[in-house]
Structures are given as structure tokens and as C-alpha cells.
Amino acid sequence: MSKVNRLLSAALVVAAIVSACGGGGGAATQAPAATEGPAIVRLGWAGSPDTLNPGAAVLSEAYTIFALVYDSLYEFQLDGTYKLGVAESADVSDDGLTWTFKIRSGVKFHDGQPMTAKDVAFSLNLYKSHEDFPYLNTYTYSFESIEAPDDSTVVITLTGPVPNIDYLLSYLYILPEHVWRDHAEGSAAAEFENAEMIGTGPFAVKEYKQNEFVHLVANKDHFLQPPKIDEVVFQTFENQDALVQAIKTGQVDMITEMPKTAAPTLRNEPNVKLVTGAPFSPDVSDIIFNQVAPENCPKDAGGVCTGHPALRDRNVRLALAHATDKKKIIDVVLLGLGDPGLTLIPNGLGRWYNNSLADYGYDVAKAKQILDDAGYKDIDGDGVREMPDGANPLIFRMNWPSDSTNAPRMAELLSQMWLEVGVKTELQAQDPDALTAVCCPAFDFDVILWGWGSDPDPNLLLGVMTTEQIPTGSSETGYSNPAYDDLFAQQSVELDSAKRKDIVWQMQKIAHDDVVYIIPFYAQEVQAFRTDRFGGWITDAGKLALEDVSSLVVIEPVK
């Protein structure tokens, strides 16, 4: 046998060994759940936390993990309400400025140390004192002071009455003072890696590798909701087709996201259940009109305000709303998995969502009529209308962030729909950072297709439409209405929840009547789980989030 032949046969042997491992492994992968050993739930998702440090984290995946590993004074629930967490009671003074919390006794951190009111006060003060914490710091703005007079009492003094303290406190995770004490000062806090991630929550971190997996173990001694399963693994799949394949072949038990096109095939897959519902933190898609008035142009903040003057006219925006076929957009872009949108407050926000508003119907004739009546006529007969004074045809620049998957198709559809009523668009995708630079507070655009991520409380997105936000860059439309601004101020101090809801509804009506935005859709959450592995997933509690603590503490292996 020559050496070349020997080489070749060696290669064949390697290939044989390799395929042998493959075959043998196959059986192991398909092994049923009900074998001995710990009950491990595997979740597939496309993302990964950026860091385990709650102060520094930006990505929503990180907050999903925080909610499992940490507790707070209040816990957010899927029906949109809050319940007490590590606090057993909450009292507020008559002026609404002093909140006193009684902290449960016997709560322990994952490392065995007891958790007391001192840890609570320490954590809240940590968030308050760190301006370099991008998010959690903002939830403490209205806190004057946080004190722990004894081991079971926390007193929070506010600078003014706050209607949604439960919402604010639900994000302020309780950290162990004995761990964070050495990392509390200056830039050390935001730079702390927090790899151990000691908390009091129903799950503890066992191992974390960024962009690979988060491995959690159950805290069976949790005071409120000890999990029934033993371990949870969040596994990152960079490729969404692989994610779908992984649940089909049983390599994961649940997936939190998937390409829209995969939904129909998963619906017919045996042992897999596809569920849809309102998202946990809904993303709102918006069509932004630059309507900033010349006198409101934030020149000091870099405003150049080059928007098309027609967009400052409500008639034009109203006509475009009537010319927009939301149903078609939902069918084409989301393959039907969405609901027509009204304002920035999505239906996923439950009672805060004003469901009494009637949407502008898709009606091309009416849209044309509105434009004709307002004096926008096609004078030169090129199919594009001109301004009432005859100059300046209605040609709008339309931009969207280049990382958006939905926007390109939506832009094309809108371009066709609006051309039917004599409005032309020039389409161009832009790098998200470049888009921010032209958007706000520069107001150097006409129309942008973009979106917001929403909090459970409407305050954040209602604030986006206030005059105050024009120079800060949060207002992307430049909309300014004193009546709306007044209502915003009122709702932010209204302690009576029912009254606050009325004001919030009123604000949505104003924003809708003025056509500040066109909201094409509220996308539905689409998730899937395997029915042959674990049972008891919560799918009908208002919001859909199988990765939320509510599901993970109640599911059990299928017998």
C-alpha cells in the first residue's frame, strides 16, 4: 500500500469516526424529558444580554434575565398590574410624598446572606446617584431620599406626587450591599462585570457566556414563587432559521422569536404549539411627519428644520392617513400578524390604550377630496400635486433605518399608495446613527419610518409628543399643542388611577385627531413551545411572554 493510499484511508477512517459520533449523538438529542436528572428548560432566542450589570445594560434580553434573578419592591404582571415583591406592605402619606414599605423577613440572597431593608435602600440610592446608568437612573428622578431606619422598613421621600410608583420601583432591582459596596463609587459601578449576579429572585445564575448562553438554576427557597423546574438555559441562535429548526427537532423547548414566514409551518408541526398575543414590551412602528413650526425650531440644539411646509398642514397628514391601507401593510409586511395602529400607545398597554377611537378609514376618494379642498392641486399635470400657492410640489423624502427588516417593504407600499392621491416620495434607507443625526432635534427630513419600544406605563411615549421634548431630540415630529402639554403635566401628578386613565385617553384622542403620526400597526408577539416537554405555559394572561418569570415558575415536565 503506497503512502498516498494510506493517507486517503486515514482520512476515510476520520470521516467514519466523525459520522459515528454524529449518529450516536442523534439518539441523545432526541431523548425524552422525563428521564432522570434535573428538569432543564431550554429556550432559544436570537439575542443575548449585553452585560449582567443592571446599571450598564441596554438590551432588553438583559432585562429579561434581571427579572428572573432579582426581586424588586413591586413586580409587574402579565395582566398589566403590579403586586408587591420583597415588600409586604406599602403606605403612602396623605400628601403623597412619603412612601413607607415594610420589607419581608427571612428573604435570602443566593449566596445565603439575609436581605434586609438596608440592601433595598442601598440599591435605590445606588441607582439614584449614578447618572452614568443609562436607564435605571431615570426611574429615580422623583426620589428625594431613600432611607432604611431599621432592617424591615424603607422610607422613600418624593420631590412631588407620583402616580406610578409601582411601575418605577418594578425596575429597581434589589442588589446585595455586601457585594456591590466595593463597586459603588464613581465609574467602578458601571464597569463592574457582576458575573456572579447575586440576587434574591426565583433563579440564580450558574454560568453566562455572552452571545452563547445564560444558564440559570432554580432558587427553590424563593419566598413568593419557587420554580417547579430545576434549571433554565437561554441559548442564543444567531440565525433565525436555525432557531425554528431547533424547536422542530426538540433541541430547544421554547423559542421567543422567529421569522414571520416560519409561523405557518410551525402551526402544523406536531408537538409544537404556536402562540400569538400582545408583546411584553410592545414595539410601536410609526410614520413620522416633520411638522415642527418655524418658531419652535430648536436652533440652539442644532435644529435646521428643512421639512416640507405641506406636512405642517393637518389636512395633508389627514389625507395621507386616509390614503394608507393599513390592512394591506399588515398582510404584506407582517403576514397578518399585527393589528392596525392608532397612536403611540399600543393595544398591548391594556387599560391605558384608548380603544374608543375610530381609525381613519382607507378611502382614496376622500383623501383626494381633502387635498383638493385644501387647495393642493396638480397644476402642471405631472401627477404630483403642488402647494396652494402653485410652487413646491408635494415630493417628500422618506427615510428609514437600514437595520429595519420591515421598513423597506413598507416604504414601497406607502410610496405606491400615496402616489395614488398625488403625493410623491423619494425613498432612501440610512444608517441608524445617520438617521438620528437628521431626525431630531435637527428636523432635517420630511418622513421617517421608525419606531419606539414601549414601557408598561404610558408616561414615556406620551412625553415624546410634548413641546418640551422638541430641543432634546425625543420629539421626532416637532408637534406642539399647549392643550396636550397641559394634560401631560396633569397625568404625571394625578394620583387617582381612574382619573389618570381618563386624561391619558384624552391625550390619545388629541394626538389621533391632529394626525401627529400615522401608526401603521402594532405587531403581535409570536412564540412557540413544545407540548411534549413541559406543560403549564401561561398563554392567556394579557401579555404573551413565555420567557417571563410567570411561566418559568409554574411549568412542569410533561409526565
Partner 1 sequence: MKRYQLLVSKVGWSLFTVLFVIVLNFFLFRVLPGDPSRAGVRDPRLTKEAQEAIRVRFGLDKPIINCFTTLNPLKLAPETCAVNPLDTQFFIYIGNLIRGELGISFHTNRPVAGILRERLGNTILLIGAGQILSIVLGIAIGVVAAWKSRTVVDYTALVSSLVAWSMPTFWLGIILLFWGSRDLGLPIGGQVTVGTTYATVWDRWLDIGRHMLLPTLTQTIIYVAEYVLIMRSTMLTVLSEDYILTAKAKGLSTFQILKDHALRNAALPIVTIVALNLGFTVAGAIQIESVFSWPGLGQATYEAVVRRDYPLLQGAFLLLAVSVIIANLIADLLYSYLDPRVQTS
Residue numbers 205-244 binding partner 1 by CB under 8 A: 207, 209-213, 215, 231, 233, 235-239, 241-242
Closest approach, Cβ 551 to partner 1, in A, equals 18
Closest approach, Cβ 333 to partner 1, in A, equals 21
85 or 471, CB closer to partner 1?
A: 471
Q: Which residue has the cell 392567556?
A: 540
Pull the grid cell for residue 117.
431593608
Q: Omega of the bond prior to 441 within 30 degrees of 0, cis?
A: yes
Tell me which of 29, 35, 356, 405 binds partner 1, using CB under 8 A.
Answer: 29
For partner 1, which stretch binds (CB under 8 A), given 75-83, 97-105, 190-198, 392-400?
190-198
Residue type, 418: W
Q: DSSP assignment, residue 104?
A: P
- Determine contact, residues 312/293, Cβ cutoff 8 Å: yes
Closest approach, Cβ 227 to partner 1, in A, equals 15
Q: Does 431 bind partner 1 (CB under 8 A)?
A: yes
Q: Does 16 bind partner 1 (CB under 8 A)?
A: no
421 or 516, CB closer to partner 1?
A: 516
168 or 518, CB closer to partner 1?
A: 168
Pull the grid cell for residue 125.
440610592
Interaction residues for partner 1, span 47-86 (CB under 8 A)? 50-51, 53, 56, 58
- Determine contact, residues 196/546, Cβ cutoff 8 Å: no
Tell me which of 44, 341, 422, 557 binds partner 1, using CB under 8 A.
Answer: 44
Q: Does 8 bind partner 1 (CB under 8 A)?
A: yes
219 or 324, CB closer to partner 1?
A: 219
CA 419/CA 401 separation, integer angstroms: 22
Q: Does 18 bind partner 1 (CB under 8 A)?
A: yes
Count of residues interacting with partner 1 (CB under 8 A) = 78
Handedness of CA 197, 103, 90, 81 (dihedral sign): positive
CA 159/CA 141 separation, integer angstroms: 9
Q: Does 159 bind partner 1 (CB under 8 A)?
A: no
Tell me which of 121, 154, 246, 421 binds partner 1, using CB under 8 A.
Answer: 246
CA 144/CA 128 separation, integer angstroms: 9
Q: Does 302 bind partner 1 (CB under 8 A)?
A: no
Q: Does 436 bind partner 1 (CB under 8 A)?
A: yes
Closest approach, Cβ 65 to partner 1, in A, equals 14
55 or 85, CB closer to partner 1?
A: 55
Tell which phi-psi region holds residue 49, choosing left (phi > 0), alpha (psi between -120 and 50) or beta.
beta
Paired residues of 474 in beta bridges: none
264 or 336, CB closer to partner 1?
A: 264
Closest approach, Cβ 179 to partner 1, in A, equals 16
Q: Does 137 bind partner 1 (CB under 8 A)?
A: yes
**Pick from 423, 421, 419: which is nearest to 446 by CA?**
423
Q: Do β-strands 543-544 and 272-279 pair in parallel, antiparallel, or remain unpaired?
A: parallel
258 or 394, CB closer to partner 1?
A: 258
Give the CA count within 13 Å in the CB-facing half-sphere of 73: 27
Q: Does 23 bind partner 1 (CB under 8 A)?
A: yes
Closest approach, Cβ 8 to partner 1, in A, equals 6
469 or 551, CB closer to partner 1?
A: 469
Q: Does 131 bind partner 1 (CB under 8 A)?
A: yes
Q: Does 472 bind partner 1 (CB under 8 A)?
A: yes
Q: Does 4 bind partner 1 (CB under 8 A)?
A: yes
Q: Does 444 bind partner 1 (CB under 8 A)?
A: no
Tell me which of 359, 380, 403, 486 binds partner 1, using CB under 8 A.
Answer: 403
246 or 552, CB closer to partner 1?
A: 246
Q: Does 134 bind partner 1 (CB under 8 A)?
A: yes
Closest approach, Cβ 47 to partner 1, in A, equals 11
3-state secondary structure of 460: helix
The torsion of the CA quartet 155, 159, 162, 165, rounded to 10 degrees, works out to -30
DSSP result, 313-374: SHHHHHHHHHT--HHHHHHHHSTT-EEE--SSS-GGGGGGS-TTPPPPP--HHHHHHHHHHT
Closest approach, Cβ 460 to partner 1, in A, equals 6
Q: DSSP assignment, residue 108?
A: B
**Pick from 257, 283, 282, 275: which is nearest to 348 by CA?**
282
CA 84/CA 86 separation, integer angstroms: 7
- Determine contact, residues 249/25, Cβ cutoff 8 Å: no
Tell me which of 36, 95, 295, 433 binds partner 1, using CB under 8 A.
Answer: 433
Burial label, 83 (beta-carbon count in 10 A; 0-12, 13-18, 19+) = exposed
Task: Using only the alpha carbons of the chain, give its radius of gyration.
Answer: 27
- Strands of the 231-236 sheet, one edge to the other: 203-209, 213-218, 231-236, 40-45, 254-255, 525-530, 272-279, 543-544
Closest approach, Cβ 152 to partner 1, in A, equals 32
Pull the grid cell for residue 92.
403612602
Q: Does 256 bind partner 1 (CB under 8 A)?
A: no
CA 107/CA 253 separation, integer angstroms: 31
Q: Does 251 bind partner 1 (CB under 8 A)?
A: yes
Q: Does 32 bind partner 1 (CB under 8 A)?
A: no
Closest approach, Cβ 433 to partner 1, in A, equals 4
Closest approach, Cβ 203 to partner 1, in A, equals 13
